[in-house]
């Protein structure tokens, strides 16, 4: 399971204040032989049966599979799990996580490695296809996408051959009997596994897969780049008083402090990869170090530091984050830059404050570069409209969801900004997730 960012998005939830319906129970359907056509967002492939779309898991485009329909409750599409492969793709390989193999009953396959049966190079092609298709459909942009691997020197110890050994954070769950394991794919059922191949070796060795933890809810495994790995048991009792434990993460020559349970990029080489990408995507000809530069959804200051290291100690930049503890760490992590400051605020409300500023204050924003690293749901229409009204010179958008990025690129195009540069990275090998960094500039 890809690490979920524990931050508020800038826009208020549309469901707040409304009564939500009870979850709909899946309706099982028939067993079908399916010709798999193409990949879809979310790690599933697309097939058709009598004109109806079937989203099928654990298949590869070009294959013929026997699949069990697990949800036939939708009028326009069904969902299915592959039971066996009748005609295999040349891109199929032995699954990197044996417990997630198609040979195992679907209900017992752990989630979080949904591309593990696909050759690594083909995984990246499929991720590029999803991003390219999303940009065309939702962003109105035709773009030749290439998904790049993490450079080996940025992620020592990570396998470049099969995409394993990269996760520095793993969450395991605990069932009613105290048994430990990941959730089954698309389920909240805890399944037993004997290995965690995507985890960095120190976590794979520490994982208490054969132990029992009665009364606990979850087990977090954390391996910071500096210091010892830890097993953290999340229990049913009250949270202990006092400040949470702090860890250190090293990126190049720089050290960042953050809470152990705070957000950090999960791939061992992700923080360094994104640091370099942001530094390269900021157009130096458009960058003004004296402008009111911004780092939105800034966490503990990783990308603000990337900008500071690229353009010097005199850079003026404000990092904005809704989480109080993260902002406190950001202030300390950015202390060497005289022009840096850390603000605790929701991004949409912070932008409202900027928009309410004086004409001279607003003028400083017109020359600004704004880095934005929103949660998986993206920035959304409300934040995009506020950004466009501020009219900065350039936006550097870090995205962990291709559909959210494409939607926001479309929103920005409506407000006079065009996609000028894009890089995509395979920060989640053997899953469907992909990270992208884009530069958007005002259309003159």
Per DSSP, the residues of 290-352 read TS-EEEET-TTTHHHHHHHHHH-TT--EEEEES-HHHHHHHHHHTTT-TTEEEEES-HHHHHH
* Pair of tokens at residue 133: 């298709």
Give dist(CA 42, CA 433) in Å, integer: 8
Give dist(CA 273, CA 150) in Å, integer: 7
Domain 124-154+249-442 class?
alpha beta
Q: How confident is the model at residue 4 (pLDDT cuts 50, 70, 90)?
A: very low
Q: How confident is the model at residue 16 (pLDDT cuts 50, 70, 90)?
A: very low
Please tell me whether the overall predicted TM-score, pTM, comes out greater than 0.85 for this model: yes
Buried b / exposed e along 8-23 (16+ C-beta atoms within 10 A) = bbbbeeeeeeeeeeee
pLDDT at 288: 97
> What's 282's DSSP letter?
S
User: Is the pLDDT confidence value at 252 over 70?
Assistant: yes
* Phi and psi at residue 38, to the nearest 5°: -160, 175
Tens digit of each residue's pLDDT (9 = 90 or more) over 106-161: 999 999 999 999 999 999 999 999 999 999 999 999 999 999 999 999 998 899 88
Q: How confident is the model at residue 267 (pLDDT cuts 50, 70, 90)?
A: very high
* Phi and psi at residue 349, to the nearest 5°: -70, -35
Which residues sit in the known binding site? 265, 297, 321, 373
Long-range contacts of 16-21 (CB under 8 A, 24+ apart): none
Strands 77-87 and 52-57 come out as: parallel
Helix axes 380-390, 359-366, angle to 10 degrees: 100
* Pair of tokens at residue 292: 């009111």
Q: What is the 3-state secondary structure (H, E, C) of 81-145?
A: EEEEEEECCCCECCCCCHHHCCCCCHHHCECCCCCCCECHHHHHHHHHHHHHHHHHHHCCCCCCC
31-114, superfamily in CATH? Answer: Nucleic acid-binding proteins (2.40.50.140)
Coil, strand or helix at 361: helix
Q: Which entry of 400, 409, 424, 436 is annotated as an active-site residue?
A: 400
Tens digit of each residue's pLDDT (9 = 90 or more) over 391-417: 999 999 999 999 999 999 999 999 999
Is 400 known to be catalytic?
Answer: yes
Tens digit of each residue's pLDDT (9 = 90 or more) over 425-444: 999 999 999 999 999 999 87
Q: Which residues pair with 251 in a beta bridge?
A: 254
* Pair of tokens at residue 375: 């949660």
Q: How confident is the model at residue 17 (pLDDT cuts 50, 70, 90)?
A: very low
Give dist(CA 364, CA 435) in Å, integer: 30
Tens digit of each residue's pLDDT (9 = 90 or more) over 51-98: 999 999 999 999 999 999 999 988 899 999 999 999 999 999 999 999
Helix axes 380-390, 347-355, angle to 10 degrees: 30
Strands 169-174 and 180-181 come out as: antiparallel
The domains of the chain are located at: 31-114, 124-154+249-442
94, 401 contact by CB (below 8 A): no
Residue 434 CB neighbours (<10 A): 24
Instruction: Give, in order, the Cα–Cα distances in Å from 27 to each of 6, 30, 80.
Output: 32, 10, 11
* Pair of tokens at residue 332: 């300390």
pLDDT at 237: 58
Give dist(CA 402, CA 435) in Å, integer: 8
* Pair of tokens at residue 408: 């926001």
Q: Which residues pair with 442 in a beta bridge?
A: 417
Which residues sit in the known binding site for S-adenosyl-L-methionine? 265, 297, 321, 373
Ramachandran quadrant class, 177 (left: phi over 0; alpha: psi -120 to 50; beta: rest): alpha
- Residues 158-176 have a mean pLDDT of 96
Give dist(CA 227, CA 168) in Å, integer: 12
Give dist(CA 356, CA 358) in Å, integer: 7
């Amino acid at each position: 399971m890809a690490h979920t960012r524990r931050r508020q998005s800038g826009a208020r939830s549309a469901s707040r204040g409304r009564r939500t319906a009870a979850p709909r129970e899946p309706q099982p359907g028939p067993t079908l032989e399916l010709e798999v056509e193409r990949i879809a967002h979310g790690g599933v492939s697309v097939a058709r049966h009598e004109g109806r779309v079937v989203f099928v898991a654990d298949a590869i485009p070009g294959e013929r599979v026997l699949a069990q329909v697990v949800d036939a409750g939708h009028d326009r599409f069904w969902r299915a799990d592959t039971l066996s492969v009748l005609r295999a793709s040349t891109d199929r390989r032995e699954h990197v996580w044996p417990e997630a193999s198609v040979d195992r009953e679907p209900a017992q396959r752990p989630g979080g490695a949904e591309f593990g049966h696909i050759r690594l190079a083909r995984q990246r092609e499929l991720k590029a296809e999803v991003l390219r298709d999303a940009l065309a459909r939702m962003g109105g942009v035709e773009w030749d996408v290439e998904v790049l691997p993490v450079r080996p020197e940025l992620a020592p110890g990570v396998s470049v051959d099969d995409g394993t050994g990269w996760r520095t954070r793993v969450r395991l769950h605990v069932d009613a009997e105290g048994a430990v394991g990941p959730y089954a794919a698309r389920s909240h059922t805890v399944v037993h596994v004997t290995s965690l191949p995507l985890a960095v070796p120190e976590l794979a060795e520490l994982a208490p897969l054969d132990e029992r933890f009665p009364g606990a809810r979850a087990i977090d495994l954390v391996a910071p780049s500096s210091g010892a790995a830890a097993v953290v048991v999340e229990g049913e009792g009250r949270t202990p008083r006092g400040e949470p434990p702090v860890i250190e993460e090293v990126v190049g020559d720089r050290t960042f402090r953050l809470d152990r349970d705070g957000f950090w990029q999960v791939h061992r080489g992700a923080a360094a990869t994104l640091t370099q990408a942001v530094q390269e995507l900021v157009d130096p000809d458009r960058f003004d170090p004296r402008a009111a530069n911004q780092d939105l959804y800034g966490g503990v200051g990783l990308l603000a530091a990337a900008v500071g290291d690229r353009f010097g100690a005199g850079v003026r930049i404000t990092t904005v984050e809704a989480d109080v503890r993260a902002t406190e760490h950001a202030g300390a992590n950015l202390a060497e830059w005289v022009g840096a400051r850390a603000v605790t605020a929701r991004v949409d409300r912070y932008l409202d404050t900027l928009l309410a500023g004086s004409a001279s204050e607003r003028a400083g924003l017109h020359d600004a570069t704004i880095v934005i690293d929103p949660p998986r749901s993206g920035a959304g229409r409300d934040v995009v409209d506020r950004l466009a009204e501020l009219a900065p010179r350039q936006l550097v958008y870090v995205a962990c969801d291709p559909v959210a990025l494409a939607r926001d690129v479309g929103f920005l195009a409506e407000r006079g900004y065009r996609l000028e540069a894009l890089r995509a990275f395979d920060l989640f090998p053997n899953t469907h997730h992909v990270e992208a960094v884009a530069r958007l500039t005002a259309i003159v």
